[in-house]
Amino acid sequence: MDVGEAKDRIEAAFGLGELSSGAYSGAWAATAGRDVLECRTPIDGRLLGRVALAGEDDYQQVVGASVQAFREWHRIPAPERGALMAAVGAELAAKKADLGLLVSLEAGKTITEGQGEIQEAVDVARLAAGLGRQLYGLTIASERPDHSLREYWHPLGPVGVVTAFNFPAAVWSWNALLGAVVGDSMVWKPSSQAPLTAIALTRLVNGVLQAQGAPPIFMLLVGGGRTVGERLLEDHRLPLISFTGSVATGRHVAQVVAGRLGRTILELGGNNGAIVTARADLELALKGVAFGALATAGQRCTSTRRVIVHAGVYTDFLARLGHVYRMARVGNPLEDGTLVGPLIDRPAVASFLDALERVQAEGGRVVCGGEPETVPGCEGGHYVRPTLVEVDPTCRVPLEETFAPILYCYRYQSLDEAFAIHNSVPQGLSSAIFTTDLREAERFLSAQGSDCGMANVNTSTAGAEIGGAFGGEKETGGGRESGSDAWKAYARRVTSTVNYGYELPLAQGVSFPV
């Protein structure tokens, strides 16, 4: 598909005209007299649209509206909130083709990846719909006669959500739709590299709520870090901030929010490793490693950045992987057959080249790739050749996360050595092992194996399902989003003791005669 054709289609679908408002508080702010952000596609640099940025007055209006919306929204029974999330999911599904195309234009994803991201939001909406009748607490045995001990989960309040460019729809849905069914309202600050997807989603989901007679609860602020981001972190009206981004920024977020005793969900860097053992199904491992390393041009937090291969199969596996890399089509992600699309911007290309220069200075050997790519018809885009680099455990550059299609290749002898290499990085998001040996798999999943929040067997580090909680350990931040009981992060726990007897026995046998 031509970029111009795709641009026309999303403009018609979502009303993204020449200038869109970047502030929503139940109504869209006027666009006149504001700083303007130009939104360009990384595919060919073409202008997609312009956004009037939120200012200080908008910030106060939006957060104030979110506080008021919460007061009304959380009084709606949870099953009804779940039904509204089902309606949101239905509308997302109906607009999936156009929303997915918008994601592809803004983030440079292939068509299938853009569609998959919207499907993820649809699935989260369906999960939220079911949770409307499953927001459970506990009944606990009391040590005192004629007493009950219970736990309740109540809505937390307005929640600030800060998202990155690489998943401009899915990560918002993890937070916003699950938080909504719990009873919270949302203030979303999207990445300035992908604001149009945020504007389109905000219009769509609030339109569903208003058509059902419910208050609009999904607020939006497109603005700079100083104007919007820093205020979100400092605002006592927002008891929780969910942040997805770099480790360095995540540290700042954690410090500022903790300074006011607020809560955070942090989804920070990933430096994910895949171990290929001597007993691996090499064809399966090849597919899993290639997808994990090449999808979204290596710009996923779950991208495979290191592959750790047993010495007995290393040469064979690296030769197969090198063939895949050399044959991988780099180009316009809107065209059939493209496997690797663009990096998000020119600084990302510079970071890619800098990492390769430094790792070679440390003794790393580039097996294939390693240079920018010119794509005919997309000369304004940001393309690089996917790259394999042979390294040993003494190299320091692979300990960093570079958001680009660079895969560092290690050779190991023993499984303990593989685990040591795998766990040597400061990040701890996703991990994988490829093996047909049950004992190797179970050791990897045990406490002596992967130190990551997600540990996979015979599948990629990337491509997590929404049913499981998503998140990592160490410098990844420790947050959890999406499935399992991640919804509890958006709620406050209340422990309740009820005495239904006529005496006042005290816990721990304490006596208090009055």
Any idea which residues carry the catalytic annotation? 267, 301
Three-state DSSP at 295 gives: helix
Identify the burial level of 230 via C-beta atoms within 10 angstroms of its C-beta, where 0-12 means exposed, 13-18 middle and 19 or more buried. Answer: middle
CA separation, residue 337 to residues 323, 388, 396 (Å): 17, 21, 35
Determine contact, residues 165/193, Cβ cutoff 8 Å.
yes
Q: In angstroms, rounded to a whole number, what is the distance separating the alpha carbons of residues 173 and 279?
A: 39
Q: Which two tokens stand for residue 337?
A: 């057959």
How many residues does this entry show for the chain? 514
- Look at residues 509, 501, 492, 467 and name the one whose alpha carbon lies nearest to residue 174: 467
CB neighbour burial string for 262-289, b if at least 16 within 10 angstroms, e if fewer: bbbbbbbbbbbbbbbbbbbebeebbebb
Determine contact, residues 456/434, Cβ cutoff 8 Å.
no
Angle, alpha carbons 485-487-490 (nearest 5°): 140
Q: In angstroms, rounded to a whole number, what is the distance separating the alpha carbons of residues 430 and 165?
A: 19
Q: State the DSSP string of 81-126.
A: HHHHHHHHHHHHHHTHHHHHHHHHHHH---HHHHHHHHHHHHHHHH
* Residue found by looking up tokens 């972190």 in the block: 233
Dihedral of CA atoms 218, 242, 86, 465 in degrees, nearest 10, equals 150
Identify the burial level of 209 via C-beta atoms within 10 angstroms of its C-beta, where 0-12 means exposed, 13-18 middle and 19 or more buried. Answer: buried
- Look at residues 279, 234, 264 and name the one whose alpha carbon lies nearest to residue 478: 264
Cβ neighbours, 10 Å, residue 165: 23
Query: Residue 430 forms beta bridges with which residues?
Result: 454
Q: Which two tokens stand for residue 347?
A: 């600084």
